[in-house]
Amino acid sequence: MLKLLVAGSGQSRTGVMIPIPQYPLYSAALAELEAVQVNYYLNEERGWALDVAELRRALAEGRRRCCPRALCIINPGNPTGQVQSRECIEDVIKFAYEEKLFLLADEVYQDNVYAEGSAFHSFKKVLMQLGPPYSESVELASFHSISKGYMGECGLRGGYMEVVNLDPLVKEQLAKLVSVRLCPPVPGQVVLDVVMDPPQPGDPSYERFHAVPTAGWGSVGQDPHVASGMSTGAPQPHKGLLLLPPRVVLIPNPCPFPGQAQNQAPDMFFCMRLLEETGICVVPGSGFGQREGTFHFRMTILPPTEKLQVLLEKLSSFYTKFVREFS
């Protein structure tokens, strides 16, 4: 899809708006295609909410150096775990309509929504329900995968893309591009076929199929808030996804931060010390993007509750010690 969208040079080069924090696939793909990355920041203080005012700021900034043609939305968020409300999705669609932006809706975690009061709304459904002129003109590509929330977690690969309102001639070129790529292994294609056409009530496999998505959620299905109160900064509202992005709160020390001597970002230094002292492996937030001066790490919340509880106790003790030593 990006290959179709990327064109031009200099200030006419295609810009793609992506959320920060983001899944690094996007920044890597844009770098490979030499497209321009246009960052918009999610609001951490509001549970990583998407703010249309921030989209407008990012778009105006991007137009000074490129031609923004696409807006990428990750819902539920990765790595942030937020789930967008229907009202927010409507606002984003109207924004894309006004600014003539192509919508890229990454919805691969749609089956991993478990917080009370949260519900997944697909961009296509909301777009169609908005009616004209939006439903007839906003171009949309929606992405889903068997590798999140199904038995494929995360080794059996397969996914699909659905395009809406794409010009028929352009769609022909998209089919050509897809045809020259290698296909996923046959087992992945079989599972994808079942996901696209699932068993219906009364079918012999109906109950078993619908039990699969939640079978591997570990502590998530039992207590989705088990990791939200960690003492690494403010508790993070967590509505979806199988990962959690806690924030590391550091008060600058008059002395240089020790990681700087090793050319390490502070969050990388934190993660390496955590691994060395506790055996807990987490990923630094700098790999996903974050506001300057803030530091995060990402961890999974898939383990069973009893194991996750032990992990969190170790993490909390380490964090207290780390802050006492370096803040």
Judged by average pLDDT, the poorest of 90-94, 172-176, 201-205, 307-311 is: 307-311
Judged by average pLDDT, the poorest of 171-175, 257-261, 309-313 is: 257-261
The pLDDT of residue 311: 84
Q: Which two tokens stand for residue 157?
A: 């690969």
Looking at this protein, which amino acid is placed at residue 145?
Answer: S
Would you say residue 92 has pLDDT above 70?
yes
144: Cβ contacts below 8 Å, ≥ 6 apart: 107, 108, 110, 159, 160, 162, 195
Would you say residue 249 has pLDDT above 70?
no
The pLDDT of residue 258: 61
Rounded to an integer, what distance in angstroms lies between the CA atom of residue 155 and that of residue 288?
22
205: Cβ contacts below 8 Å, ≥ 6 apart: 199
Rounded to an integer, what distance in angstroms lies between the CA atom of residue 24 and that of residue 138?
26
The pLDDT of residue 125: 97
Between residues 169 and 48, which one has the greater pLDDT? 169
Between residues 96 and 284, which one has the greater pLDDT? 96
This prediction's pTM = 0.76
Fold of the domain built from segment(s) 2-196: Aspartate Aminotransferase; domain 2 (3.40.640)
Of 132, 69, 79, 130, give the one whose Cα is nearest residue 103. 69
Compute the average pLDDT of residues 143-170: 80
Which pLDDT tens digit goes with each residue over 199-228? 999 999 898 887 766 555 544 544 544 444
Which residue pairs, CB below 8 angstroms and at least 24 apart, start in 113-119?
Answer: 113/76, 113/83, 113/239, 113/240, 114/217, 114/220, 114/221, 114/224, 114/239, 114/240, 115/83, 115/224, 115/237, 115/238, 115/239, 115/240, 118/83, 118/239, 118/240, 119/83
Which pLDDT tens digit goes with each residue over 162-202? 999 999 999 999 999 988 887 777 887 888 888 889 899 99
Residue boundaries of the structural domains of the chain = 2-196, 219-326
pLDDT band at 232 (very low <50, low <70, confident <90, very high): very low
Rounded to an integer, what distance in angstroms lies between the CA atom of residue 1 and that of residue 171?
10
Q: Where are the beta strands (DSSP E) in the chain?
A: 14-20, 36-41, 67-74, 102-106, 140-145, 159-164, 243-244, 247-248, 283-284, 295-300
**Sheet containing 102-106: order of strands:** 36-41, 14-20, 67-74, 102-106, 140-145, 159-164
Asked whether 240 and 233 are in contact (CB, 8 A), the reply is no
CA angle, residues 123, 188, 148, in degrees to nearest 5: 45
* Mean residue pLDDT across the chain: 82
pLDDT band at 252 (very low <50, low <70, confident <90, very high): low
Which pLDDT tens digit goes with each residue over 62-88? 999 999 999 999 998 888 888 899 999
Q: How many CA atoms lie within 13 A of 270 on its CB side?
A: 30
Asked whether 266 and 256 are in contact (CB, 8 A), the reply is no
Between residues 318 and 287, which one has the greater pLDDT? 318
CA angle, residues 57, 62, 67, in degrees to nearest 5: 135
Fold of the domain built from segment(s) 219-326: Aspartate Aminotransferase, domain 1 (3.90.1150)
Counting residues of the chain whose pLDDT is more than 70, the rounded percentage is 80
Burial tier of 168 (Cβ tally within 10 Å: 0-12, 13-18, 19+): exposed
Compute the average pLDDT of residues 141-148: 86
Cis status, amide bond into 66, omega within 30 of 0: no
pLDDT band at 105 (very low <50, low <70, confident <90, very high): very high
Which pLDDT tens digit goes with each residue over 112-133? 777 777 889 999 999 999 999 9
